[in-house]
Structures are given as structure tokens and as C-alpha cells.
Structure 1
Amino acid sequence: MRQFTAVVNPAAGGSSGTAALLPLARLLREAGAELDTRYSRSLDHARELAREAGAQGRVVLAVGGDGMAGCVGGALSGTAARFGLVPAGRGNDFARALGLPTDAAGLAEVLLHGAPRPVDTIEVSSAAHGGAAVLGSVYAGVDAVANRHANTSRLLRGAASYYAGGLRAVAAWRPAGYRITVDGAEHAYHGYTVVAANSGYYGFGRLVAPGARVDDGLLDVVVIRHGPKRLFFTIMEELRTGAHLHRPQVEVLRGREVRIEADRPLPYGADGEVDGALPVTARVRPGALNVLC
């Protein structure tokens, strides 16, 4: 029987994280599994807890949203550790890409009996923040600004915080000049954002890269070029279904290594967390993480 260590997001630990974990914990223990719950003091502490548990041969569960999933999964990238997700955040986009059950019983079945599946991770590096591994996507532009607003919102939660953050970001946005290098080939654009996607979803369930697969060894690089702001809002709605790919303002590149630069300091984010400013390089690490899914 598997032994689990659940690493709980410090932000979610007192509310949604515990709420998601309690019914699952009961089912795991009733099945005879051992579960140890660890509350992290910070994301760096969460990485430390994850590596420690993984080195002991335990299945490491990330309890939280995409930031926590990327943090814990990134810490285990390149190791033999087994990784599981307990979605308890606002977006849960990587869990959505994996097709994980949303009910405790279905998720318990996956964690108890599911076979580990090798999936890709993204190695992210920048001059300001060194290197780290993440799971879902790296994005640079108006969406990173919007996500920063959503993460710092005290009045709104869930989809409402992303929508309000997006309105605020787009209202103040002016087109950026991007230089994107994909596997050594340079591309220049004027526009809103660049997303290097390992997973198809980001930003609270938006299907930004419908062709992205978590195990194909490639990143889908989605570029939204300049256009009227009213059109950008239309594209944001089309992201729910992937219909935006039919717009001439949207282009998709594919490759193993992507470098994103801009003509002014722009924030970039990864897995729901805004980490720094451009330039940034994203490299795929094929099959680097063993996920129960």
C-alpha cells in the first residue's frame, strides 16, 4: 500500500486546502494507506518538504492550486519520486489538463491504484531569478499583469478575480515588441502576450494551447499579436473553447527551447505565480516527472 505525504499550500492550508484534503485523507486511510500531512511555511519550504518525502520513497501530494502544483512538481522534476495532485486552488489548470477526477472518491482511486505516468516539465531560467522547474506554462505580457492583479485581490476570488484583473491589465496595456527565439530561430512580434505552454490550459480554465500535450517533448508557443482592445476581449472569451486559433492575430510556434525578450521590462509568470521580468528562457524536460493520473 502506498505511503503519502501531503504538502499543503500555506495560503490554502486554513481553508480550501484542508477542505479538499479531509475527505480524501479519510478514503486513503480507510483503504490502508498511510498519510502524513505537512503544512509549508512558504513555497521554498514546500519544495524542501517535497524533496525530503520523495527521497524517502513516499508519494508526494501537492494540495493547492497551480502555483503549489508547479512548486512541488517542479521540486520533484528529474527524480524518481511519484507525484499526485489534490486540486484546491482557483485555477487547477494542470489537474484539468491531466483529466483528474474532481470528486474525492475518484481522486482517491487514482492515487491508490493509478500507474505513474511520465510527463514533461519546463525548466525556467532568467538572470534575476536563476532556474526552476514548473509544470504548465510560462507567459509574458498582459496576462502576467492580470494574474498579478488577481493574486493580490482581497475582494474577489476565483474566476471573478481573473476577470477583474484582466480588465484592469488590458485597460492600461500598450503593445509590446517581442523577440521570441524558438530552437534558435528568431521571430519578432508586436502584441499582447506570449505563452510557452506544456499544458493546454491556463488562467482559470482557458484553453490557450489546444494542441499542447504534457508528454510530447515540445512547448506550444502561443503569440497574441496587436489588435484593437475590444478584439482582445473577444479573443479572451474564445480562449474558453480554443476558437481563438482561427484569428489572424494568433500564431502558434512549437519547439523545445523558447527565449522571450521584450522592448521594455515586462513581467512573466509560471504556473499562476508571477516570478520576475523578461528576458526568460523556457526549456522542456521530457518525461521528467512521474504523475499519478
Structure 2
Amino acid sequence: MRQFTAIVNPTAGGSAGVAVLLRVARLLREAGAGLETEYSRSLAHARDLARQAGERDRIVVAVGGDGITGSIGGALSGTGTSFGLIPAGRGNDFARALGLPTEPEALARVLLHSGPRAVDTIEVESPHGRSVVLGSVYAGVDALANRHANRSTLLKGAASYYAGGLRAVATWRPAAYRVTVDGENLAHRGYTVVAANSAYYGSGRIIAPGARVDDGLLEVVMIREAPRRLFFTLMNELRSGDHVQRPEVRVLSGREVRIEADREVPCGADGEVDTALPVTARVLPGSLAVLC
């Protein structure tokens, strides 16, 4: 029977996240599985706990949102350790890309019976060093919006991302980017550049409809300078992915993407990581084994 180590972000999802974990834990133990629970003090601590559990041949389960999911998944990338998710955060975008259920009973069945699926991860190099993330790397107004959302104390979930987006767009000045995709240099002036492994970011927004987590490619989405009123329309179209049909949006794909800008531009990954440009995102094909 499978042996699990659940690593919990105590702040993600609040009491609702703890409740989901308790229900899943009961179902796993009733089925005869072994389960131990660790509470992380930080994302770095969560990565250490994940590596230690993997070295003991345990299945590592991230409990929380995209921040802890990305951190633990990145730590396990390339190790062969099986990785499970209990989505209990604000965004849960990588779990959404995998098609994971949200009901405790269905999650328990996935953890108990599903085989591992090989999915891609993203190696990120920046002035802050090297890291590995799962969903996307983005530089521009969306990173600023995410920063506002993470600092919000009144709004939760999608509402915090939408409010953060409105605040970010209201003050954004278009940046001049230099984007290099598999060696091809591209000039871009606008709102953002996204290198996406997953279709989703920002709590269910479909930034890259063509992105797949197991195709060995990153979808590169660039939104160029446009009137603010049009950008607000684009924000609404992220719910369906229809924004990619507009002439202001350019979509490419590649295995390696470098993003530079003419000024300081906020940059993030997987809803949590604040980094700085220039940044290089490189796909690591099939490097993570996920139960889904």
C-alpha cells in the first residue's frame, strides 16, 4: 500500500484547506495507506521536507495553493519521486491544468489508485539564482497584479486577483521588452510576456489556451501596448482564452525563453516567486511524476 507524506502550507485556504486534508487523510488511512503530515514554516522548508520524504521512497503530497505546489514540485523535478496534490489555496491553477478533482473522496481515489504521469517543469535562471517551477513565468503587469493579490487581506481567491489586476493596470507604463525564443530575438512593447507550461494562471484565467503540461514546449504569450480600456476587455477575455484572437496578442512556442526589459519590471512564477529580469525559462520535459 502507498506511503504518503503530506506537506501543508498552514496559511493556504485557511480552515477550509485543513478540513479538506483531514477528510482525505481519513479516507487514505481507511484504505490502509500510510500517511504522515508535515507543516512547513516557509517554501524553502517545504522543499527540504519534500526532498527528505522522497529519499525515503514516500509519495509527497502538497497541500495548499500554487506557491507550495510549485515549490515542492520544483524540488522533486528530476528525482523520480511521485508527487500528489491536494489543492487548498487561492489559485490552484496547476491542479486545474491537470484536471484534478476538488472533492475529498475523488482526490483520495486519485492518490490511492492513479499511476504517475510524466509532466514538464520549468527551469528558471535569474539574478536571484536558479529554481524550478511548474506553471508559468511572467514579467509585467500580471506580476504586479499578483503582488497586489498576495498582499490583499480583504479579498480572497479570484476576487483578489481581479482587484489586483485593476489596480496594476491603472498605474502600468508599457515596457520595452527584448524576448528571445529558441535563439530568435523579438522586440516587444507592452504589458507582459508569459512563458507558460500550464494554460492557467491568476486563479483560473486562461492565459495560454494552447499550453500543455506534457508537450515539451512553453507557450509564449505577449500582450502589446494598447489603450487601457481595451486591456480591461482583454482581462475579461482571459476567462475564456479568447484574448489570443486579438491582434494585440502574439503567441509563440519554444523550449527556451529569455525575457529582458528596458526598465525594472516585476517578474514572478507560480503565483508566489518574486524575481527580477533578465530571466531565462527553459522547459524540462517529463521531469516530474504526478498522480493525476
Pairing 1:225-240 to 2, within 5 Å after superposition: 225-240=224-239
Over residues 62-100 of structure 1, what are the superposed CA-to-partner deviations in whole Å (9 max), with x where a residue is unaligned? 000001110000000010100001000011000000000
Partner residue in 1 for 2:97:
97
Shift of residue 253, structure 1, vs aligned partner: 1.0
Given the alignment of the two structures, is residue 57 of structure 1 paired with residue 81 of structure 2, yes or no? no
Given the alignment of the two structures, is residue 121 of structure 1 paired with residue 117 of structure 2, yes or no? no
Between the two proteins, what is the percent identity of the paired residues? 74
Shift of residue 109, structure 1, vs aligned partner: 0.6
- In the alignment, is the contact (CA less than 8 A) between 2:12 and 2:90 conserved in 1? no
Partner residue in 1 for 2:249:
250
Shift of residue 17, structure 1, vs aligned partner: 3.0
Letter in 2 for 1:79: T
Partner residue in 2 for 1:220:
219
Shift of residue 119, structure 1, vs aligned partner: 0.2
Shift of residue 12, structure 1, vs aligned partner: 2.5
Shift of residue 34, structure 1, vs aligned partner: 0.7
Letter in 1 for 2:150: N
Over residues 219-239 of structure 1, what are the superposed CA-to-partner deviations in whole Å (9 max), with x where a residue is unaligned? 000001110111111111111
- In the alignment, is the contact (CA less than 8 A) between 1:148 and 1:274 conserved in 2? no
Over residues 11-40 of structure 1, what are the superposed CA-to-partner deviations in whole Å (9 max), with x where a residue is unaligned? 238534312201100100000001100001
Given the alignment of the two structures, is residue 132 of structure 1 paired with residue 131 of structure 2, yes or no? yes
Shift of residue 276, structure 1, vs aligned partner: 1.5
Partner residue in 1 for 2:290:
291
Task: Work out the CA distance in 2 between the residues paired with 1:164 and 1:92.
Answer: 18
Task: Work out the CA distance in 2 between the residues paired with 1:225 and 1:14.
Answer: 37
Partner residue in 1 for 2:80:
80
State the SS of the aligned residue for 1:72: helix
Partner residue in 1 for 2:260:
261
Structure 1 unmatched runs, 5+: none
Over residues 149-177 of structure 1, what are the superposed CA-to-partner deviations in whole Å (9 max), with x where a residue is unaligned? 00011121111111111111000001110
Task: Work out the CA distance in 1 between the residues paired with 2:89 and 2:13.
Answer: 11
Task: Work out the CA distance in 2 between the residues paired with 1:10 and 1:220.
Answer: 32
Over residues 204-257 of structure 1, what are the superposed CA-to-partner deviations in whole Å (9 max), with x where a residue is unaligned? 101111111101000000001110111111111111111111100001111000
State the SS of the aligned residue for 1:147: helix
Letter in 2 for 1:21: L
Task: Work out the CA distance in 2 between the residues paired with 1:117 and 1:177.
Answer: 39
Partner residue in 2 for 1:41:
41
State the SS of the aligned residue for 1:15: helix
Task: Work out the CA distance in 1 between the residues paired with 2:269 and 2:65.
Answer: 12
Pairing 1:120-199 to 2, within 5 Å after superposition: 120-127=120-127, 129-199=128-198
Shift of residue 44, structure 1, vs aligned partner: 0.5
Partner residue in 1 for 2:11:
11
Where in structure 1 do 4 or more consecutive aligned residues deviate above 4 Å?
none
- In the alignment, is the contact (CA less than 8 A) between 1:59 and 1:82 conserved in 2? yes
State the SS of the aligned residue for 1:177: strand
Distance change (3 Å), C-alpha of 1:235 and 1:14: closer
Task: Work out the CA distance in 1 between the residues paired with 2:121 and 2:190.
Answer: 27
TM-score between the two structures when normalised by the length of structure 2: 0.98
- In the alignment, is the contact (CA less than 8 A) between 1:9 and 1:17 conserved in 2? no
- In the alignment, is the contact (CA less than 8 A) between 2:179 and 2:187 conserved in 1? yes
Task: Work out the CA distance in 2 between the residues paired with 1:80 and 1:204.
Answer: 28
- In the alignment, is the contact (CA less than 8 A) between 2:90 and 2:203 conserved in 1? yes
Over residues 169-205 of structure 1, what are the superposed CA-to-partner deviations in whole Å (9 max), with x where a residue is unaligned? 0000011101000011000111000110000000010
Q: Over the residues paired in the alignment, what is the CA RMSD in angstroms?
A: 0.9
Structure 2 unmatched runs, 5+: none
